[in-house]
Structure 1
Amino acid sequence: MLAVVGCLAEAHDFRLVALAAAICALSALTTVCLVSHARRAEGWAQGGWLAVAATAGGSGIWATHFIAMLAFAPGVPSGYDVALTGLSLVIAVALAGSGLSLAVLVGGKVAAWVGGAVLGLGIAAMHYTGMAAYDVAGHKAWDPAIVGASLALGGVLGGAALAAQLGARGLARQLPAALLLLLAICSHHFVAMGAVTVTPDPTLAVSASAVPNAWLAVAVALASFAILLLAGAALALDVRDRRHSKLEAERLHSLANAAVEGLVVCTGDTVVSANRSFAKLVGLPQAALAGTALSAYLPGDAAWLAVAGQPERPVEAEIRQADGTLVPVEVIMQPVEHAGRPHYAVAVRDLRARRQAESQIQFLAHHDALTGLANRASFGKRLDQEMRAADACGRKLAVLCLDLDRFKEVNDLFGHATGDAMLESVACIVSDELDDAQMVARLGGDEFAVLAPCDRPSEAGRLAERILEALRSGRPDAGGPQIATSIGIALYPDDAQERAALLSYADTALYRAKSEGRGTYRFFEARMGVEVRERRLLEHDLRHAVARGEMHLVYQPQTDVGSGAVIGFEALLRWKHPERGFVSPAVFIPIAEESDAILRIGEWVLREACREAATWPHPLSIAVNVSAVQIHSPHFVGLVHEVLLKTGLAAHRLEVEVTETALISDPNRALLTLRQLKSLGLRIAMDDFGTGYSSLSNLRSFPFDKIKIDGSFVRSVDSNEQTAAIVRSVLGLGRGLGLPVLAEGVETEAEFGFLAAEQCHAAQGYLMGRPSPIGQFSQHTHGTVPVTDENRKRA
């Protein structure tokens, strides 16, 4: 009687036993790898992978059994029944496929254990069918207890193998499952072999149809070869899958790291992975984040519950950085599947830039962008509050309106950057003069307003004086313009009860300050309102006077004192308003200069005078007055050149008259303009000599061709010794400098005689001719006698 276990040491070929174990291990690893691919596949592909896995697993179980049987040499004749041997292979493949399909298609831990148990039963069914196919010259007897133990081992270890394989990816993680499947096959085989006892019987013979061991070896070799092929395919697929998974992971990590927002994948409160942006946000190395708690960076139960309770919806919270600093963020949590298991993806957006932008927008909504002062809207709100406070405590409230004098000239001459710098300087200087109860705002352009609660009007006046003195003391940059301003003051509730009226009255007082010499302040008075309204209406009409044809020129002759001949004319501007009639130049010229309408009006005068003079057969000179605004305009020289070319007037016939006040504000600019005009060939006369500042200095510095004595010095020159002395001095100065002198305002023969006696070069005044249309002087311009009523009578 032969017990198989007892004969293990004497009747078994250990080389074949080792081969059986190797084939079993290879088969188990192949089956586990193929099942892993089947879990990730879908549809028909999944069914195909399960079929291949069942073939590899069933063939491995069958080959392991029969290689181990070939290793057993009991010393009695034996063979194998062909039908049962083939049936055992089919049973192994079928039951292995059933168990694997159940574990994969149903999914979950329970299905894995049940499927593994079915696989273990398949191992047992194949084994005992194979033992039934074993034909030996003797009797076989089975121990039921050991058979039961073999069945239990196969089922338990098979279930454990598929349960361990669940979710395992990569060769290293699949080795435990493969080892368990190897133990299930081998332990079942050798335990089951221990349950059989063979008793030799010489009277029994092996069936003639039984397959000898040699033929079985060929079949086992083919099965083993198939297992090797499947194992190679499984290994190749596993390598490809690992490479693909690695590339996919690298791509996903690259995409995640490229994201501006912080991205975190976590399971529960544990961080699985985080991108570079999140690491930078919390101030930790990216590699140190895995395995940490997300709640360590998202403190506060309320914040965490808000994020978790509103998936896929943004929630504002705070992230704690490594140094403990809290950063405002927006968090969005979304469930995702990662590595075959449910996780959460958390997107974290840094809100610091947005909060800063919102703060900046909020600031700009209530402040001036250039100076940082309160804007008009904020000033209006504060004014309303201060008016209510003044009513409550019985105090007064002063509104001071500031306007920079000739600010447009600063932009035109020095550029807008200089203008902006001047506005910033004004804001700083005025702010330094105020206390906490007062405020300054920029209303727009070069307009500022100061709000100052006070008990007496004199307090507002002292504040205005301090502001004016501070602005005068402000040192401009080298070569830059000096800050000059005027201030108008209105009081609440004395002058107005409403905000709009209070601001309007302060603006009216500002206009009065400008009209009375600039650089000063004025309180509002009731009569100012009418004057300012009239001035504004006149300014409005003046802007359209040229286009409406309301402007015209008159001409006054300039006479040579020695010969009495007319040597030229001065063009004088007149405005006939459709309702007001003739408006005095002394009224509308200052308004035109302040509103910059003088540029358009002055251009018209220059074009019209040159066009008219170009038509005279006698080449008499034509003098045109030019304001300070024109002299400081960067386009004036080009305009003069264009007019001379278009009208055809010879440049030496044009004489530009400039007052000394035009030279004071910016001497360098004025000198450049006058030199450029001289280069064109025209002449330049100093008008109203003696009434400006530093006349002698100006004569030396600027390229004048003529001096015009103001009419206030010529009047009564024949009877007033002081006046006569002044005129003699000017005439002597002209002779010394080589400059001809023209006396204005000559009205009597006595005045003319004095000028002739003192050798004055030329004269102009009512005595030689009143300002009239040029047609009245055609005998001088065209050599003809004009047709007048007096000439008709003489005829």
Structure 2
Amino acid sequence: MYRIYDCLAHQHDLVLVIVALLIGLGGIHTAFNLYARACIGRLRQRIAWLFLTGVVTGGGIWATHFIAMLSYDPIVPVGYEPTWTAFSLVLAIAATTAGFAVASIAGPHILLSRIVGGLVVGLGISVMHFTGMSAMQVPAVVTWHMDIVIPAILLGAVFGMISLWLAGTAQTPREKLLGKVNLTIAVATMHFSAMGALIVTPDPSVPVPAQLISQEYLAIGVAVVATLLIAIGFVTALLDRQLRDHVSDRMRILGDSAIEALVLTQNGRVIDTNESFLKLANIRREDIENQDFLSEWLSDTPPAFQSGEIAYVETTLSLRGIGELPVEVIRREIPADDISDATVIFGLRDLRERYAAEHHIRFLAEHDSLTKLLNRTTFNDRLAEALEESDETGTPVTVMCIDFDHFKELNDSYGHIAGDHALRELGERLSKLFSDEVTIARVGGDEFVALLHHQKRSTEEEIAARSRDVAQQILDSVAIPIFINTEHRAKLAASIGIAHYPNDGNDAESILFHADLAMYRVKQSGGNDLVYYSSEMDEEYRFKRQISSNLRIAMENGQLALHYQPQCEAGDQSTHSFEALLRWTDPELGSIPPGRFIPIAEETGLIIPLGEWVLRTACQEAARWKNPLGIGVNLSAVQLQKLDLPEVVANILDETGLDPKRLELEVTETALIHNPARSLKILSDIKKLGVRIAMDDFGTGYSSLATLQNFPVDRIKIDQSFIRKLVSSDQAVAIVRAVINLSRDLAMEVIAEGVETDEQASFLTDHNCQSVQGYKYGHPKPISDYAHIVNPTEATLQPGETDGKPANRDSGIETV
């Protein structure tokens, strides 16, 4: 080490040493710029750039060597043999060209090729050095310290390998800097270490050739060669860089004008991006340059996309420290040209909005738009999956049908906006019951369904208990009053029918149907409860279906008939009107009481045509009577909600020619409260026709003085349940007396139904009841049995006379 220091400090001109180093740095700097260009582009262009790289690198190293030699003072005269001097330049150019060429080879062994290339360059420096040293001719004996020569050669080789290993493809300033520094160290350490190993022993007997290059001429020659080579390389690299920058700038302007994010890569490494990508990833350009784009940013892409077999994929963009971003990626390849290597362009588009839109569309398709619960279609799919899983695993499944009690009244009272608000509120409450075990859906109107999964080994008792718990939670959540406005709160209840799979049905359709049957059983019992399905409900349903079907046939085939029951004056028992009562005798089932088939007709909608038939038939019959007695016809609650009812009544009166004053329509209090406003309008319009209105079954429903005050009622009918208890119940006596007095005070007529005994008749007469009706005065019969009353002749019966048969109790249930 001391010999090296002594040689450098005392045997070298430090100014020339510095000049040599500067020339070496200039050459190496230009060389790596050329090498960076040689690593891209087509093969022919790469060969040309590699040769130019070798020329500049070899020339720079050669110039560095000989200028440093000129700074060396061996004490004896020095000359340089021209051939070996020129040959050393050729060796320097050849070695560096070969080394850089090997290092530029891309492939699976790229690291090995760079190390080997660096080794060739490092050894080439040594070969050039010792070849150049052999060109030095001095009158002396030249020997070497081999213990310094070998380390010098190794240092040159090691730093040469490090140089091209760290330089890579020299596409970034950092790679270039590392390559330049280490190659400069390789040249300097190898040269000055080797010079420290040189021993020059003067010997005048050593012959010196005559044709030598003097140090002065050598200095001029080296300076000219070094300047030309470095200048050629520098100018060439500068022009190429300007051309590439121009093309790159145009491409960047074009890329930045695109909405899609664009990433350009060469050999898998990012060389550029547009502004859209930087905004998408929220990064700076330097954060991604020279990174392996596929492995670091699109790691989830399939191998076929990474290899270029497919050009489109939907994947995720990995954002460091942020997460993943859904994107669609299009891959396009640009072949290598004279300016650049083969380039792959990746176009990326953010899929968050599309995925959000698809999610929203899917949500709308699967959920009810009002309550945000599942809709019917989605629930049916979930139910099918649950039943399939139950078949495979034996896990029991429970289905609940839920219907809100009196929801129609809420709509009618507060409007449909309030009804929608109530459904939204109920939907939000029920959604809180959602879990892995409970699924709730709205299937239409105020109808909801729930699906309950049980544990695999649940017993029937556990299934029933769990179902009851969930149903009770639903009942409790529905029972909480719903805010309508500052003055009103609506309180609802629910009817819940429960069916278990597979005990209560073997498929989705049957299990839903049976749960629905159980729910209707709750509705018929008053609601606000839960009922489990039983097989008896099926029998009842089949009976209702048969009744409904046979009733349609009966209407078409004329199997229906009207019976008439007289309504008499309480005093002289003279008949002043008849009440028309519907009767049906079925060929299969025999005589069916109205109380059995009328509710079924109301459920199925048959009550509308059936009611019109009764009204038309009764009016036609009454119009034929010579005695212009009154005729009473009952209206059902369903009919009373039809806005066209006044028009129907008017048309029937016109068709039959019946005097409107003879017609009395009987309605119940219960029918009026379904929609008081609508009922009032309909009855008022009917009243304008001249038709009378009677309040039927007064006292048994929602009796209210407001009902009598607000509705255009002409007559009150005291229900037969009170008349029947007149003899045995003081309470019944008080009620009947009060109703009679009330009607008188309100200037309304009153009639008592169900009068059967003399005691009942006497009580009513004593208390000034105007009219009576019951078995005491006549049974419901075909009008032909009362021909002597409706078409009186000379042989008429006395008032109140019957056919002589005993008064058997009739059901007394009126038609619609």
Q: Identify whether the pair has TM-score above 0.5, normalized to the shorter chain.
A: yes
The CA deviation at 1:661 is 1.8
Q: How does 1:114-129 map to 2 (within 5 A)?
A: none
Give me the whole-angstrom Cα distance separating, in 2, the residues matched to 1:537 and 1:579.
Answer: 10
* Structure 2 partner of 1:451: 452
Q: Which residue number in structure 2 is paired with residue 692 of structure 1?
A: 701
Match for residue 331 of structure 1 among 329, 332, 336: 329
Q: Within 2, Cα distance between the matches of 1:165 and 1:494?
A: 85
Task: Confirm whether residue 602 of structure 1 aligns to residue 600 of structure 2.
Answer: no
Conservation of the 8 A alpha-carbon contact between 2:789 and 2:796: no
Give the distance between the partners of 1:440 and 1:173, measured in 2 at CA: 65
CA shift, 1:584, in A, is 1.0
Q: CA 1:301 to 1:587, structure 2 compared with 1: closer, same or farther past 3 Å?
A: closer
Aligned length: 548
Structure-2 residue corresponding to 1:510 = 519
- Whether 2:476 is the aligned partner of 1:472: answer no
Matches of 1:576 and 1:709, distance apart in 2? 29
Q: Structure 1: which amino acid aligns with 2:562?
A: L
Aligned alpha-carbon RMSD (Å): 5.2
Q: Would the aligned equivalents of 2:406 and 2:492 in 1 still touch at CA under 8 Å?
A: no
Comparing 762-771 and 540-549, the one that deviates more: 540-549
- Aligned partners of 2:366 and 2:360: how far apart in 1? 10
Pairing 1:74-473 to 2, within 5 Å after superposition: 262=260, 264=262, 266=264, 268=266, 281-282=280-281, 299-300=297-298, 303=301, 307=305, 309-310=307-308, 313-319=311-317, 324=322, 326-335=324-333, 346-360=346-360, 370-374=370-374, 375-382=379-386, 385=389, 399-405=399-405, 420-432=420-432, 437-442=437-442, 446-451=447-452, 453=454, 455-456=461-462, 457-458=464-465, 460-461=467-468, 463-473=470-480
Cα displacement string for residues 215-274 of structure 1 (whole angstroms, at most 9, x for unaligned residues): xxxxxxxxxxxxxxxxxxxxxxxxxxxxxxx9xx99x979x96x8x62648474667785
Residue 588 (structure 1) shift = 1.5
Instruction: Between 641-650 and 531-540, report the one with greater CA deviation.
Output: 641-650
Distance 1:485 1:309, change over 3 A: same
Q: 1:579: how far off?
A: 1.8
State the distance in 2 between where 1:786 and 1:373 align: 74
- Answer yes or no: is the 8 Å Cα contact 2:304–2:310 preserved in 1: no
- Cα contact 1:687–1:707 (8 A) shared by 2: yes
Q: Distance in 2 between matches of 1:647 and 1:301?
A: 87
Shift of 1:694: 3.5
Alignment match, 2:167: none
Shift of 1:706: 0.9
Name the aligned partner's letter for residue 488 of structure 1.
G
Query: Which runs of 5 or more residues in structure 1 are unaligned?
Result: 1-156, 175-245
Instruction: Note if 1:628 corresponds to 2:614.
Output: no
| TM-score normalized by the length of structure 1 | 0.56
* Unpaired stretches in structure 2, ≥5 consecutive residues: 1-231, 804-816
Whole-angstrom CA distance in 1 between matches of 2:359 and 2:677: 45
2:383 alignment partner AA:
F
The answer for the alignment partner of 1:584 in structure 2 is 593
Secondary structure at the aligned position of 1:747 is classed as coil
User: Is 1:537–2:554 an aligned residue pair?
Assistant: no
Any conservation in 2 of the 1:399–1:452 contact (CA below 8 Å)? Answer: no
Q: Give the deviation of 1:656 after TM superposition.
A: 2.4
Task: Give yes or no for contact 2:331–2:346 (8 Å, CA) kept in 1.
Answer: yes
In structure 2, the residue matched to 1:560 is 569
The residue type equivalent to 2:740 in the other structure is L
Partner of 2:182: none
Q: Deviations over 1:118-167 (max 9, x none)?
A: xxxxxxxxxxxxxxxxxxxxxxxxxxxxxxxxxxxxxxx9xx99x98999
1:743 offset after TM fit, Å?
1.3
Q: Deviations over 1:54-104 (max 9, x none)?
A: xxxxxxxxxxxxxxxxxxxxxxxxxxxxxxxxxxxxxxxxxxxxxxxxxxx
- Counterpart AA for 1:683: R
Deviation at 1:329, TM superposition (A): 1.5
**Secondary structure of 1:546 counterpart:** helix
Q: Which amino acid aligns with 1:300?
A: L
Counterpart of 1:572 in structure 2 is: 581
Equivalent of residue 522 in structure 1, options 521, 526, 531: 531
One-letter identity of the residue aligned with 2:601: A
Partner of 2:495: 486
| Change over 3 Å in CA distance of 1:291–1:744 after alignment to 2 | closer
Q: Once the 2 structures are TM-superposed, how far is the Cα of residue 735 of structure 1 from its aligned partner?
A: 0.8
- Partner of 1:537, secondary structure, is helix
Shift in alpha-carbon separation, 1:786–1:459, aligned structure 2, 3 A: farther
Whether the 8 Å CA contact 1:511–1:532 is kept in 2: the answer is no
Deviation at 1:740, TM superposition (A): 0.4
TM-score where L is the length of structure 2: 0.55
Give the Cα separation in 2 of the matches to 1:167 and 1:786.
133
Q: Is the 8 A contact 1:390 1:397 kept in 2?
A: no
Q: Which letter does structure 1 place at the counterpart of 2:600?
A: I
**Contact 2:422 / 2:482 at 8 angstroms: preserved in 1?**
no
The code of the aligned residue for 2:482 comes to: R
CA positional deviation for 1:662: 2.1
Deviation, 1:315, is: 1.1
Are the equivalent residues in 2 in contact too, given 1:282–1:322 (CA < 8 A)? no
1:709 Cα deviation after fit: 0.8
- Secondary structure of 1:765's counterpart equals coil
Q: Equivalent residue of 2:639, what SS?
A: helix
Change (3 A) 1:321 1:721: closer
Tell me how far 1:673 sits from its aligned partner. 4.1
Decide which moves more: 481-490 or 729-738.
481-490
Residue 658 of structure 1 contacts residue 685 of structure 1 at CA under 8 Å; is this kept in 2? yes
Q: Report sequence identity in percent.
A: 38
> Cα offset for 1:730?
1.7
Give me the whole-angstrom Cα distance separating, in 1, the residues matched to 2:634 and 2:671. 11
Q: Note the C-alpha offset of 1:692.
A: 1.7
Compared with structure 1, are the counterparts of its residues 640 and 549 closer, same or farther at alpha carbon in structure 2 (3 Å cutoff)? same
Match of 1:96 in 2: none
Q: Does 1:661 align with 2:670?
A: yes
Q: Deviations over 1:174-194 (max 9, x none)?
A: 9xxxxxxxxxxxxxxxxxxxx
Instruction: Give the secondary structure class of the aligned counterpart of 1:591.
Output: helix
SS in 1 for 2:522: helix
Aligned 8 A contact 2:720 2:752 in 1: yes
Question: Is the CA contact 1:422–1:483 (under 8 Å) kept in the aligned structure 2?
Answer: no
2 CA distance for matches of 1:263 and 1:531? 68
| C-alpha distance in 2 between matches for 1:363 and 1:434 | 16
Pair 490,705 (structure 1): closer, same or farther in 2 beyond 3 Å: same
Deviation at 1:657, TM superposition (A): 1.5
Distance in 2 between residues matched to 1:680 and 1:463, nearest whole Å: 54
Given that 2:261 and 2:274 are in contact with CA atoms closer than 8 Å, whether structure 1 keeps it comes out as yes
